[in-house]
Chain A
Amino acid sequence: MAIENANGLPPSTPMASDQQPLLEGRTVSKYFGGLAAVNNVDFAVYPGEIVGLIGPNGSGKTTLFDCLSRLQKIDGGKITFKGRDVTRARPYQVARMGLSRTFQSVRVYRKMTVLRNMLISHQWRNTSLLHMLRPSPASTARRAHQLLDFLQIEHLAHEDAGHLSGGQRRLLEIGMALMPDPEILLLDEATSGVNPTLIETIKDRIRTLNQQGKTFLLIEHNINFIADLCSRVYVLNYGEKLAEGTPQEILQNEAVIDAYFGA
């Protein structure tokens, strides 16, 4: 189904060299004390792509997400989003520019209903003071209901988010990330704790949204999920970029097999 406001761009072919990256990190580094959680990582996502980010536990994937979404100050390097330097921006600013993300440990507003979780996650870019002093407008509610329907959790709209199951919460979080009609979605292990049928649903939704022009960056441990969806994959290991390429290339890469699947 079509989502309001989604601009129906055709899926563009990734990696056209004349294209400007939508989200780019250059020599991004992040240290926790002596630990280099992310070390000199170069990174680019082009408009219309679905890019995967994989790596063993503790390899720095979530930390890289935190750096890109500005939740963590970086210790080195530069991050650009839509051609603008956002290295020093705050998270709400990149969010208003069109970047949405979900969290590995799901973050929803537990004491609010599912619907209210959705309503308050609207696009804040042009929210005036007057707008803020009123209840959410009907147009926001309409979009919220559409998205809940799209994610098949509409029947839970008036349930407290804290009462949802783990998988339902993940879907809600994806819905909240979609509310502001972002240009890029960063999903951190969107399939973890989700049953296989639901995973197929999520996969299907990501494809649909991608066809409508949304760009995705996915952290996944589910290799099939990555292989099915992504045009390109980055592999992190010990905070460093180990490899990048198509899923097929990555799955045959010796170093990756060693790091990821090897003993």
Chain B
Amino acid sequence: MTTAPPADKNGNETGKKARFPSLAPVHSLLAGWAGLALWLLLLLLLALYPYTGVSSLALLVGSQIFVLVTLASNWNLIGGMTGYVDFGHAVFFGVGAYIMAILVTGAPLLISPQWGFWQALPASGAAAALFALLIGLPTLRLKGPYFSIAMLGTLVAMREIVRVSRPITGGGIGLNLPPVLNRIGDYYLMLAIMGLVVSLIWWIQRSEFGQSLIAIREDEVGAEMRGINTTLHKIAAFMIAAFFTGIVGGFWAWQNTFIDPDGVFVETRTVEMVMMSMLGGLGTVWGPPLGAVAIYLLQNLLWSNLFELHLLALGVLLVLIVLFMPEGILGTLGDRSSTSLGRLLARFGRNR
């Protein structure tokens, strides 16, 4: 009797097809303590930076970059690590911004006295997280592109809802916040938020929770069948990402002193988050921050040289990233075989 195995009709080699083949997430470089140490050192240097006697414009630029880094890192938690490509993540930014504006201006008659900034800021995050819970329960059941589109729809719908809810939100006219100019305060506050968020992502990525998110990204059915409560983990990741995005939205509203629906519920903000994460390396800890800085610098460069064509140039860039660097900067470097720098970094960084 022979025991020849039956022909493999299941195509082991093809396996499960990726939801977004080109958005392939990758291993994290410097994911261990060395990475965290470098990060803390960088934060320290950034904290000392204002003492070098810089202009208030430099502080503004600094806080803007910190905003982008925080947004990209947050988006990466749900889009890169969990694999739920959220095309409407700016909705949490908008919710946070509006909660901040409503609370500090006492715009609706129902809230008085007005809240201070420091009470309103956590409320912005909490509101965004709550919104994520409500919206995530139905949308996180959807897979791949369906989730992405549902979130895009949520963003557009919220913009219109805010526009028509005039008594509370000021409608299309928007809301004016009390103008308080404190560049140095803004700089340090955003530095702290960014430091916290990126360190949190570093922590999550090492933890079993973070590994379970990656497992969900890689094979959700498999993860559920092996005892992971996938619904709970996805919702938790979604809420964490929404919380800090809401905080950033609240901060942005405060710093900008004016918000309207078209200014905060914008698709381009989501596109930015996606692009920054992808350029740096989806699912990695340090990729999205790196991508955020790169995109910011590039945007300014393009804007000052190409003016209104700069959006077109960014679009072209996105296409080029997907075509030639689908795993982003860190992913391309992290691939042990592709570059000598990558090999070096890999040897150095894979001490998890």
Let me know if B221 and A71 touch, CB within 8 A.
yes
Let me know if B3 and A196 touch, CB within 8 A.
yes
* Interface residues on chain A, number (Cβ under 8 Å): 56
B interface footprint on A111-149 (CB within 8 Å = 1, 0 otherwise): 110001001111111010001111110000000000000
Instruction: Output the least CB separation between B166 and chain A (Å).
Output: 42
Instruction: Output the least CB separation between B38 and chain A (Å).
Output: 19
Give the residue of B10, B225, B227, B283 whose beta carbon is less than 8 angstroms from that of A193.
B10
Q: Which residue of B lies closest to A135 (CB)?
A: B206
Whether A19 sits at the interface, judged by CB under 8 Å, is no
A167–B143 alpha-carbon span in the complex (Å): 29
Whether A260 sits at the interface, judged by CB under 8 Å, is no
Identify which of residues 177-235 in chain A touch chain B, using a CB-to-CB cut-off of 8 Å: 177, 179-180, 189, 191-196, 199-200, 221-222, 224-225
Chain B CB within 10 Å, residue with most, of A108, A176, A180: A108
Instruction: Output the least CB separation between B351 and chain A (Å).
Output: 12
Let me know if B208 and A134 touch, CB within 8 A.
yes
A interface footprint on B26-56 (CB within 8 Å = 1, 0 otherwise): 1100000000000000000000000000000
Q: Which residue of A lies closest to B231 (CB)?
A: A90
In the complex, chain A residues whose CB is within 8 Å of the CB of B215: 109, 112, 120
Whether B21 sits at the interface, judged by CB under 8 Å, is no
Give the residue of B6, B207, B219, B224 whose beta carbon is less than 8 angstroms from that of A132.
B207
A106–B221 alpha-carbon span in the complex (Å): 11
Let me know if A180 and B10 touch, CB within 8 A.
no
A196–B4 alpha-carbon span in the complex (Å): 6
Whether A96 sits at the interface, judged by CB under 8 Å, is yes
Contact A166:B227 (CB < 8 A) given known A71-B221, A107-B221, A116-B211: no
Instruction: Output the least CB separation between B230 and chain A (Å).
Output: 7
Instruction: Output the least CB separation between B285 and chain A (Å).
Output: 14
Whether B180 sits at the interface, judged by CB under 8 Å, is no
Let me know if B208 and A91 touch, CB within 8 A.
no
Give the residue of A103, A125, A166, A196 whose beta carbon is less than 8 angstroms from that of B8.
A166
Give the residue of A90, A109, A112, A191 whose beta carbon is less than 8 angstroms from that of B5.
A191
A interface footprint on B161-187 (CB within 8 Å = 1, 0 otherwise): 000000000000000000000000000
A225–B10 alpha-carbon span in the complex (Å): 19
Let me know if A221 and B10 touch, CB within 8 A.
no
Let me know if A192 and B5 touch, CB within 8 A.
yes
Instruction: Output the least CB separation between A36 and chain B (Å).
Output: 23
Whether A61 sits at the interface, judged by CB under 8 Å, is no
Let me know if A131 and B208 touch, CB within 8 A.
yes
Let me know if A96 and B227 touch, CB within 8 A.
yes
Identify which of residues 117-154 in chain B touch chain A, using a CB-to-CB cut-off of 8 Å: none
B interface footprint on A65-109 (CB within 8 Å = 1, 0 otherwise): 000010100000000000000000011100110001101111111
Q: Which residue of B lies closest to A220 (CB)?
A: B6
> Please, could you name 30 A-B residue pairs with CB atoms under 8 Å apart, sorted by A?
A71-B224, A90-B229, A91-B221, A95-B225, A100-B226, A103-B222, A103-B225, A105-B16, A108-B218, A111-B283, A112-B215, A112-B218, A120-B211, A121-B226, A124-B228, A132-B207, A132-B208, A133-B203, A133-B209, A170-B12, A179-B226, A180-B226, A189-B10, A192-B5, A192-B9, A195-B5, A196-B3, A221-B6, A222-B3, A222-B6
Residues of A within 8 A of B (CB): 69, 71, 90-92, 95-96, 100-101, 103-112, 116, 119-125, 127, 131-136, 162, 165-166, 169-170, 176-177, 179-180, 189, 191-196, 199-200, 221-222, 224-225
Across the A-B interface, give the 6 residue pairs with the lowest CB-CB distance, nearest first: A166-B12, A193-B8, A107-B222, A124-B227, A109-B218, A95-B227
